Structure 1
Amino acid sequence: MKTNQISFWIAAIALAGTIASCSKKEATNLKSPVIPPSHPISSDTIGSFEKGTLLSGKTYTMNHDVYVKAGDTLLAQPGANIIVKNNSQFKIQGVFQSLGTQTSPITFDSDTHQPGTWGGFACDSAKAVTILWTKVLNTGGPDNTGGARRTLVVSKPIKVDIEDSWFANGQDDGIGLFGGAQVTVLRNTIQSGGSSDGEAINLKTGTTGTVAYNVIFNQAGTGVKLETAKVVTTAETNVDVYNNTIVSCGWRRGSAEPGRGVSAGVSAKGNIYNNIIVNCYHGIEIFQDADVANVKYGNNLFYATADTQVDNTAPPAITVDIRAGFYPSDAAGKPQPSDIISTSIATGNPMFTSFDGALLLPNGAPNTNDFHLKSGSPAIGKGNATYNADMGAYTSDGKGNKH
């Protein structure tokens, strides 16, 4: 009997310990460990050769060109603020990651906040580039020959991911991706770029991937340009270009090379669907030298707030019939039955939330428009459902642009 009592109390104590242990475990708030940044950059100035982490909420000054060597990584945390002086440029040979968030974007801007006052990102030999929720402003400062520089350029077959970011007031191409880069360019806003030349998104020489849900406004040249090369020695440029809203592009280059909403040429192919193209010099131009049989397109909306526009870019001035240029007559592209094509100011209006109707604007002009679609827009429900049921960058399903 005594032995049984002892056994009972031992079991009871063990059970009580187990219950206490369980209660304690349930009350514990387990958190994921906080991983400290790799090589935090604590100085207020960025060095000539840099690697490590630009810290969240911290403001940095960049006084000279900054090199990220092969094998190194430069990472910017949410809320980092980088002020660039002296027309400096990032030269990326390693990995570049700018990882902002919707509530804490990262900003790269010059100290003067004026268009064309710093050199952007030369990522020609980078190993990978990721840019998320980042504001890249006022790039395109001249190189040593006086020519404007692209905001961002990649020339290698690397992965490039650019999402939910802003590119404004550059002086040449906004995003130039070449050399077989594998690209994802989603939900960005690219505006008022190119002084007298430059595409918003320029994809050449075997680049592949997706360009979708971007808003492109007031670019000097073309919104999205696809080309391979006159002599194809690598894979063709092959990009899905869908659900972009492209407005007031192509007017600062003149009739010798007018800008387009979207163009495909020089052995490029791709799929061009669900785009809204408004007030551009030309709409969609599929050049005769494109891989025409493999450029698929349709379900695009074309509109203009004026029938004609005088082009004074170079003498003599000419009057441009905007609607005749939705599909230029000397190109291979033709209107598709699934397109919505405006025949007058009264037809085919996409019904933006607000739009001042501007065609010709200078480089650096602010964008005061709201390109969301009003209820009843003809673009809603008229997209190619392979990509989205709606047209344009702002879609009913919430997958579109977040700006």
Structure 2
Amino acid sequence: MKKINTMAGMLLAAATAMFLASCENDNINPYDYIGNNGNANQGSTNVIKTTVAEYPVGSLVWSNDTTLSESVEIPVGTSLYIEPGVTVTCKADVQVPVEVVVLGNLYCLGTAEKPVTFTSDCKKPEAWGGIICGYNSEEVVLNHVDIAYAGATPTESSASFQNKLFKTTIDGGVPAFHFCNVNGKFVIANSFFHDNYNDQTYFTGGNGVIAGNIFADSGNAADGGEAINVKAGCKLDVANNVIYNACTNAFKLSNAGNSEVVPLTDMTVYNNTIVDCGWRRSKNKKGGSVWVEKAARPVFVNNLCYDSRFGLKQPKQDGADMEHSRLTPNYYYASTATGVEQMAKGASLSIWFDTDIKSATAGQFDPLFKLFKQNAGMDINCEVDDPDKGAPLAFDKAWNFDLQQGSPALSGGVTDFARIFPNGIPFFGMKRVNFLDSANDQNYYFSAPLPQPRFGAWL
């Protein structure tokens, strides 16, 4: 595991001596990345300069593609900036799965033309761990980032386990991205999460915006997987996302999973599109499109749910705080009789509102996506990850989940609610970057888009 230490003016010899004195998992400091990543100070005492931008002195900057054969740990107070177009490849054939553990700050500065990519050398799910943030991580920006093939199970030597993050026992894989600082800030925008073995994202605290993303092919038949899993201690605006093939839930919204002193979660979840989710757990009736539990009290409106098992569900004993939630109107479409039956009024554990739009017969209220190919043999209760047995087809980036002209889902949404962060969230580590190329210039405020009086996302 590489523990990054970027104190200004630290000499290589002194740094090497310090790290050689530490335990065997604390390898030499990553000034050995300088040749590959161009993060050497260019002579200024005030900035670190690359061809893309000038960064605060003491920062770590990755400018070129990087291959990781062991985990990287970013200490508290250190900021790692990853420049546009950089690919971080995590090796799969290693004894301890690679993780990126962010105890400090992380800024992935991708653009539409040059995204930042986290991938594996084998291009298979469960090849590496994920991006796991610490309790003192203040700011994380994932803008135009492609994250794939994460979700490996940590070992007792893993950086996340040693820092007591996410798991305190070894009982399954980690999410592709986890944030836990109640007072911290994060944004996931314009990004593509796909083929990750467990949850795509998991939040046990933090102030965040999640907007304009695609979450595709989440989880596995054995262990499940949510696209967006929210626990206590969060304030979130979640809008304009497409979630395809989350095998347990598209959204799991809860106020559990944190200390009783942590404030309850507040979130607005609106104008998202959910397709082919929840096929894994038909026998025990868990999972589906959206699962609300443990006193969750979201604003959840204008969302479009397409051929997903069930609609909105809650456990019988510890479901949503209905008095303080707003859970309608939403749009639920089923192309099969089974789908209609499972989201009908009176279905087990379902939450029903007359103000929702729901298919009463198979194929009624087709929202008319611009381009999407459904599995002809689709079975929303298939429980196996095999398209030949009814599971969703692999995600195709050519698909377009926006709505055709004349779609019945283009009207009926609401706009009379407030976002949690109407003025956006400032990320001061971004403000301190001076971009030298206007094509890479990025704002330091991120906000979710205004709600639209339609259902579903527009991308």
Q: TM-score, normalised by structure 2?
A: 0.69
Give 2:60's aligned amino acid: G
Distance verdict in 2 for CA 1:199–1:70, change over 3 Å? same
Deviation at 1:122, TM superposition (A): 1.1
CA contact (8 A) 1:303 1:341 kept: yes
1:362 counterpart = 2:385: yes
- Matched-pair contact (CA < 8 Å) for 1:201–1:224: yes
Matched with 2:60 is 52
**Which 10-residue stretch deviates more, 327-336 or 248-257?**
327-336
Q: Is the 8 A contact 2:254 2:292 kept in 1?
A: yes
Q: Distance in 2 between matches of 1:160 and 1:294?
A: 25
Q: Give the equivalent residue in structure 2 for 1:177.
A: 203
User: How far did residue 365 of structure 1 move?
Assistant: 5.4
2:238 paired residue number: 211
1:234 CA drift (Å) = 2.7
Tell me: CA distance 1:357–1:347, structure 2 relative to 1, closer, same or farther (3 Å): same
CA spacing shift, 1:43–1:362, aligned 2, 3 Å: farther
Q: Aligned residue pairs: how many?
A: 339
AA at the equivalent of 2:229: N
- On the 8 A contact 2:333/2:363 being kept in 1, the answer is no
Query: Relative to structure 1, is the Cα distance of residues 345 and 198 closer, same or farther in structure 2, using a 3 angstrom cutoff?
Result: same
Indicate the residue corresponding to 1:8 in structure 2. Answer: none
Mapped partners of 1:40, 1:214: distance in 2: 38
Q: Which residue in the other structure is 2:310 paired with?
A: 282
Cα shift readout 1:313-340 (whole Å, capped 9, x = no counterpart): xxxxxxxx54432666344722232x22
Aligned AA for 2:108? S
1:257 deviates by 4.5
Of 238, 242, 246, the match for 2:266: 238
**Contact kept in structure 1, 2:252 and 2:292, CA below 8 Å:** yes
Q: Distance in 2 between matches of 1:46 and 1:332?
A: 54
Instruction: Spell out, residue by residue over 1:205-240, the C-alpha distance to the aligned partner (whole angstroms, 9 max, x if none).
Output: 121111111100001111111111288533212211
Q: What displacement does 1:255 show?
A: 2.9
CA distance in 1, matches of 2:344, 2:249: 13
The 3 A distance-change label for structure 1 pair 323 and 274 is farther
- Uncovered stretches (5+) of structure 1, i.e. residues with no partner: 1-38, 309-320, 395-400
1:251 matched to 2:279: yes
Q: CA deviation at 1:362?
A: 2.7
Check whether the contact 2:333–2:359 (CA below 8 A) recurs between aligned residues: yes
Among 324, 336, 345, the alignment partner of 2:354 is: 336
**Counterpart in 2 of 1:67?**
73
1:133 matches 2:158: no
Taking only aligned residues, the RMSD between alpha carbons, in angstroms, comes to 2.5
Larger of the two Rg values belongs to structure: 1
- Give the alignment of 1:35-184 within 5 angstroms: 42-44=34-36, 52-55=60-63, 58-85=64-91, 86=94, 87-125=97-135, 126-144=137-155, 145=170, 147-157=172-182, 158-178=184-204, 180-184=205-209
Structure 1 range deviating more: 283-292 or 150-159 = 283-292
C-alpha distance in structure 2 between counterparts of 1:307 and 1:40, whole Å: 60
Is the 1:170–1:194 contact (alpha carbons within 8 Å) kept by the matching residues of 2? yes
CA distance in 2, matches of 1:304, 1:177: 30
In the TM superposition, residue 54 of structure 1 has moved relative to its aligned partner by 1.1
Q: 1:354 Cα shift? A: 2.3
Shift of 1:287: 4.3
Instruction: Report Cα offsets for 1:31-89 as digits up to 9, x if no partner.
Output: xxxxxxxx995333899xx961111xx21111101000001011111111111113311
Whether the 8 Å CA contact 1:281–1:322 is kept in 2: the answer is no
In the other structure, the counterpart of 1:188 is: 213
Structure 1 CA distance, aligned partners of 2:37 and 2:69? 8
Residue among 316, 325, 330 paired with 2:343: 325
Distance 1:100 1:40, change over 3 A: farther
Q: How many Å apart are 1:355 and its aligned residue?
A: 2.4
> Deviations along 1:249-307, whole A, 9 cap, x unmatched?
11123331532222221011011111010111121124452211111122211111211
3-state secondary structure, aligned to 1:43: helix
Give the letter aligned to residue 212 of structure 2: R
Write the distance in 2 (CA, Å) between the matches of 1:346 and 1:138.
34
- Whichever residue aligns with residue 228 of structure 2, its letter is I
Q: Does structure 1 conserve the Cα–Cα contact (< 8 Å) formed by 2:225 and 2:247?
A: yes
